[in-house]
Homo-oligomer: A and B are copies of this chain.
Amino acid sequence: MDLIKKLSQFSAATICEALGNTGYLPSEIKPITQAMKVCGPAYTVKTMPRDNVLLHRAYAYAKPGDVLVVNCSGFYEAGYWGDLMSIGAKTKGINGLVIDGCVRDADDIEAMNFPVFSRGLCIRGTSNHGDGTLNEPVIIGDVLINPGDIIVGDRDGVVVVPFYRIEETIEKAIAREEKEERTRAELRKGRPSIEVYGWDEKFGY
């Protein structure tokens, strides 16, 4: 989808600002290797602590291009996702995984370049009970994520764009980047930001 492609050209930080400084997931959720980026509509999952049946189901049901977004009920210390699931998801065309918990098989996942954003790496295995929810709204940190909201992640972190605000976000991100580009030029001339922003009078220079 064209709008998603446009969104993917901005950094997560820029989009967060374009959203009026909302949509940021907890900063502990980071790509397993620093160059990974992700962008796509959320397929949401809520698993129970240490259980990952719903993650197997999620990538099977999600649409190509989707990003799996997973709440693990506050229990991070398990390897909810690994190389096999990455193969399965990548084969299916899934765009990536954002999980508020840990994963394992980092070398293999990195080698196949499947974008995974997690709390870290953990070898502890999971159970197969299967409780939780699929494709219903989930909460991670301070953000309510609805299925279809757009997820954008990079080295700095992950942001969630509500579906109905995609176009507005793109416009504001463009405006912000243009303004920042002008600011950069001033900064490079040696004018500090408090001068560029006109803050020198307000805050004393």
Q: Please encode chain A, from 1 to 37, with 1 for each CB lying within 8 Å of some chain B CB and 0 for all others.
A: 0000000000111001100010010111010001000
Which B residues are CB-close (under 8 A) to A50? 48-49, 73, 75
Which residues A175-205 have CB closer than 8 A to chain B? 180, 183-184, 187-190, 192-195, 197, 199, 202-205
- How many protomers of this protein does the assembly include? 6
Contact residue among B28, B82, B121, B139 (Cβ-Cβ distance under 8 Å from A144) = B139
Q: Which residue of B lies closest to A53 (CB)?
A: B203
Cβ-defined contact, A102 with B27, below 8 A: yes
Majority SS at the chain A contact face? mixed
Shortest Cβ gap from A197 to chain B (Å)? 7
Cβ-defined contact, A75 with B56, below 8 A: no
Cβ-defined contact, A105 with B184, below 8 A: no
Which residues A105-154 have CB closer than 8 A to chain B? 105-107, 120-125, 127-131, 137, 139, 142-144, 154
Cβ-defined contact, A56 with B124, below 8 A: no
Which B residues are CB-close (under 8 A) to A79? 13, 156
